[in-house]
Amino acid sequence: MTLKKELTETQCQECGCSFQDTIYFRADGSPMGTYAKCPDCREKEAQLSKEQRLQKDLKETIDSQEGIWRDECNVPSGFALKTFANFDTKLQPVAFKTVKNLQWHWGEGDDEQPKSLVLLSPGIYGLGKTHLVCALINQIIETDDKALIIQKTYIRKRPCPVFYISENVLLRRIRQTYSRNSKKDFTENYEETEEDVYKKLAKYDLLIIDDVGKVRARDMSFLQGVYFNIIDQRYNDCQPIILTTNLDYTDLEVHIGGACADRLLEMAGKEGFIVMRGTSYRKKKMIDK
């Protein structure tokens, strides 16, 4: 079919401007249609439509990423619903405020670098250390950006920024690498090496090691080597770490080694070593019953 085209002056229905529009005519002389909007308005409309699609895709991506983060952060199932709102603030007001307001990532200024934290409850169990650190993880997952629109063109997913592990599990995982019998550790199927473990821990912006010193190690050289590898890397890369322990500072220093304790002092500052005292929450519940 032969089409005839003709350049015609047309008025934009959106902005009212006049623009040149090419109209095609069929053989019978009937027009095949015209643009109702000028090129600029059509471009703006296309951009708006693209941005609306991106916003819709962003919401779906964020919902998906939240599930991925919750699986990856490794919070124990018994603490998955622990929040700052369901923690009894009056029992540990200093620890509560410090953990909740911890600056675990870089601030806007170069001097606002991440802060590490050590929660100590010497000889006393059940004061809520694990509750507090898991509440922090849940807060991060709920509020941190899980995906971003970049240059109004595409969506970038952000990796999970925080990881929880107990000292006992950490040491057991590293020992497993020596036997080359590691299976599905950190969600991957291959024979993991000790260096692989350290690299995977290093990828998280915030690392939390719970129950430090709960089980006394038979090989202190091995134990202190593990902590030095982890803490020295995070010290050099300005990545924060949180430790929870029932040891006092002197015993903690012996446990992880003087070099690690010295680095922690700089990473957390004296104000970042929070001593928690009181009565075990578990015992209190039994007594109240």
pLDDT tens, residue order, the chain (289 aa): 566 777 878 888 888 888 888 777 777 777 776 677 888 898 888 888 888 899 999 999 999 999 999 999 999 999 999 999 999 999 999 999 999 999 998 877 666 789 999 999 999 999 999 999 999 999 999 999 999 999 888 999 999 999 999 999 999 999 999 875 545 445 455 578 999 999 999 999 999 999 999 988 789 999 999 999 999 999 999 999 999 999 999 999 999 999 999 999 999 999 999 999 998 876 666 555 5
Q: Is residue 14 part of a domain?
A: yes
Same domain, 22 and 85: no
Q: Is residue 223 part of a domain?
A: yes
Same domain, 15 and 53: no
Same domain, 144 and 260: yes
Same domain, 23 and 100: no
Q: Is residue 16 part of a domain?
A: yes
Q: Is residue 1 part of a domain?
A: no
Same domain, 50 and 132: yes
Same domain, 10 and 107: no
Helices 167-178 and 194-202, interaxial angle, to 10°?
Answer: 140
Same domain, 253 and 170: yes
Same domain, 218 and 282: yes
Domain hosting residue 13, numbered range:
6-37
> What CATH number corresponds to the domain at position 82?
3.40.50.300
- Would the pTM count as exceeding 0.85? no
